[in-house]
Structure 1
Amino acid sequence: MLENLNYKHLHYFWVVASEGSIAKAAEKLCITPQTISGQLSLLEERVGQALFERVGRRLRLTDTGRLVLRYADEIFELGKELSHVLRGAPLVGASQFIISAASALPKTIVYKIIEPALKLEKEVSLVCKEGPVESILGELAIHEVDMVLTDTPLSSNFSVRAYNHYLGKSGLTFFAAKKIKQSLSGPFPECLHQAPILLPTKQYAIRQLFDKWSNDNSIFPKINGQYDDSALMKAFGQAGFGVFFMPTIIEEEVCKSFDVEIIGRLSDIQQKFYAISAERKVTHPAVAAVCNSARDIIFR
């Protein structure tokens, strides 16, 4: 029965039909081919007929598939039109602003960046999500979020039609629990060599910059942990499992909240921050407020 049609499944079908293959659709949506295949199977079960037939390495629409595609074209075109209308239309009650942040971004910075959107004249109902970069960009591709916050700019490696909005940058401050700080010897940053350290995972731009700096300066800490989540990394740092770094612009908050001490600061490594949206020219009022405040106040 089609009464409970899942529109996410329909969207996956629409992208596969447009791209001509599951592999290309997976690249565009930043999800695995297996996920798309599973969702297509569920849609075909719901429809009760096959939507594609395989011809060589490509997929060809069946008669039913062509019928479904015509309706899908209209549905998603209307959805796009509705989205544009609502962006500028006065709404009754709070308008929803959905934002997704990369897990490794410090929550304090995420809050600082988002806060101006909550001070608009028009009331905003905020929905905050987080996850790995690839996952949250996939949500942006299918219009499930209005904006993505990350330190990794969108590039050709991500098959997503969206645009980077540079917010600003910050050097790094290195922190540790008192017992770890006392165990270090020598001046900073040489004291980091062979010292226990906690790092973001390699999917994040700041980790790649740190690794390059480490190699260039022949300073090789002992990696005691790698984390997707910045809050978890700080918790382990607070417990004395190793040195960790955060953007210098929030060093005061980190010391106060986690009872850790500053070891030193690096300006050689600059962590950059980006808002990514589906709009080249920002028109969404909440996204505009976020970008303007970040550039003019937070990272000035």
Structure 2
Amino acid sequence: MDQLNLRHLYYFWVISREGSIARASEVLELAPQTLSGQLATFESSVGGRLFLRERRRLILTDLGRLIRGYADDIFELTGELTDTLRLSESDRPLTLYAGVSASIHKLFAYYLLQPAMTLSRPMQLECRTGRTEDLILNLKRKELDVVLADRVPDMDTYGPFTVHPLAESSISLFAAPSIAQAVRGGFPGSLKGQALLANATDAPYFTRLMNWLSLQGVRMKLVARVEDSALIKVFGRQGFGVFAAPSVIRDEVCRQYEVEEIGKIEEVKDEMFAITRGRKLAHEGVRAICTTPADFGMFGSNIE
């Protein structure tokens, strides 16, 4: 079978759905004899019988059930496409393929993506996380529309991109309440020897944090490096150590992960950028992300 005849597949699908050639012929507005002939041709092309006759009803064979499963998926998608094409262009869902660097805190990323999700036009988000370098290559291959990153890519290595500054926030340190209460009073000196949890030691803010701690004469003990920023907060909630997160999301971090803020470090900033292939932002969702200030006030925090 070099090429599947979709019309014959559709006839088979309607027959299997209606349970008889007579009822299917009424739905398709074809003569029963014509429909029987089309079914026989399709059975010949797939190499086997698709129905067994039981009294006056057609019962699917094993081959018939296999093909019916694929046909259900095909014609469900066809129906969705037909419904979508009936919509005006402004009402059709727009797909946004976004990459988010793994080192970005997920709550921060949510606020940056939110402007695209609140447009009047329906938006379907396809979000991929990973190493910044890998996501930039995906962007170059036109597999992504935008990349959210906490660093500017090397243009000589990856090619010309447009970098759009989005937001910056000071960094705060958090821990389980028992740890936070014990070290808050003598901050930052009280952090000496404390366990430190990192979600990305190569993130720019982490390097700035380490430099700041060094200037304060504070040496912490790195006990874990977990790429998932949400998982590292779970470790922090369970008392395994101190972790850093943007101050702008501190209220939601404390609420969601049942931790407390130890202290805010104004000198250490976490910066966010949107990276696109060109200066012209044709995609509505990308344009919203790059031009609409993110609303960090939903949970009571204010951007620094």
TM-score by length of 2: 0.65
Q: Who is 1:100 aligned against?
A: 99
Deviation at 1:182, TM superposition (A): 4.2
Structure 1's 157 and 173: CA in aligned 2 closer, same or farther, altered over 3 A?
Answer: farther
Deviation at 1:246, TM superposition (A): 0.6
Whole-Å Cα distance in 2 between the matches of residues 123 and 160 of structure 1? Answer: 32
Q: Who is 2:38 aligned against?
A: none
Root mean square deviation, CA, Å: 2.3
Secondary structure of the residue aligned to 2:120 is coil
Q: 2:172 touches 2:262 (CA, 8 Å); kept in 1? A: yes
Whole-Å Cα distance in 2 between the matches of residues 121 and 207 of structure 1? Answer: 37
Q: Who is 1:178 aligned against?
A: 177
| Structural mapping, 1:42-191, within 5 Å | 90=89, 93-156=92-155, 158-184=157-183, 187-191=186-190
Gap runs ≥5 in structure 1: 4-88
Q: 1:95 touches 1:124 (CA, 8 Å); kept in 2? A: yes
Structure 1's 281 and 190: CA in aligned 2 closer, same or farther, altered over 3 A?
Answer: farther
Whole-Å Cα distance in 1 between the matches of residues 295 and 256 of structure 2? Answer: 26
More displaced stretch, 165-174 vs 282-291? 282-291
Structure 1's 263 and 297: CA in aligned 2 closer, same or farther, altered over 3 A?
Answer: closer
Which residue identity does 1:236 align to in structure 2?
F
Whole-Å Cα distance in 1 between the matches of residues 154 and 293 of structure 2? Answer: 22
Structure 1's 253 and 134: CA in aligned 2 closer, same or farther, altered over 3 A?
Answer: same
Instruction: Tell me the alpha carbon deviations over residues 52-76 of structure 1, each in whole angstroms, 9 at most, x when there is no partner.
Output: xxxxxxxxxxxxxxxxxxxxxxxxx
Q: 1:105 touches 1:229 (CA, 8 Å); kept in 2? A: no
Q: Who is 2:65 aligned against?
A: none
More displaced stretch, 265-274 vs 158-167? 158-167
Secondary structure of the residue aligned to 1:136 is helix
Q: Who is 1:228 aligned against?
A: 227
Structure 1's 157 and 252: CA in aligned 2 closer, same or farther, altered over 3 A?
Answer: farther
Rg: which structure is higher?
Answer: 2
Whole-Å Cα distance in 2 between the matches of residues 277 and 147 of structure 1? Answer: 5
Q: Who is 2:83 aligned against?
A: none
Gap runs ≥5 in structure 2: 3-87, 298-302
Secondary structure of the residue aligned to 1:121 is coil
| Structural mapping, 1:244-283, within 5 Å | 244-283=243-282
Structure 1's 244 and 258: CA in aligned 2 closer, same or farther, altered over 3 A?
Answer: same
Whole-Å Cα distance in 2 between the matches of residues 222 and 185 of structure 1? Answer: 17
Q: 1:177 touches 1:261 (CA, 8 Å); kept in 2? A: yes
Which residue identity does 2:169 align to in structure 1?
S
Deviation at 1:216, TM superposition (A): 2.6
* Count of residue pairs brought into register by the alignment: 213
Secondary structure of the residue aligned to 1:181 is helix
Whole-Å Cα distance in 2 between the matches of residues 264 and 91 of structure 1? Answer: 47
Deviation at 1:154, TM superposition (A): 1.8
Whole-Å Cα distance in 2 between the matches of residues 142 and 170 of structure 1? Answer: 31
Q: 2:171 touches 2:265 (CA, 8 Å); kept in 1? A: yes
Whole-Å Cα distance in 2 between the matches of residues 248 and 296 of structure 1? Answer: 14
Q: Who is 1:288 aligned against?
A: 287
TM-score by length of 1: 0.65
Deviation at 1:93, TM superposition (A): 2.3
Q: Who is 2:215 aligned against?
A: 216
Secondary structure of the residue aligned to 2:250 is helix
Q: 1:149 touches 1:274 (CA, 8 Å); kept in 2? A: yes
Which residue identity does 2:277 align to in structure 1?
A
Deviation at 1:297, TM superposition (A): 6.7
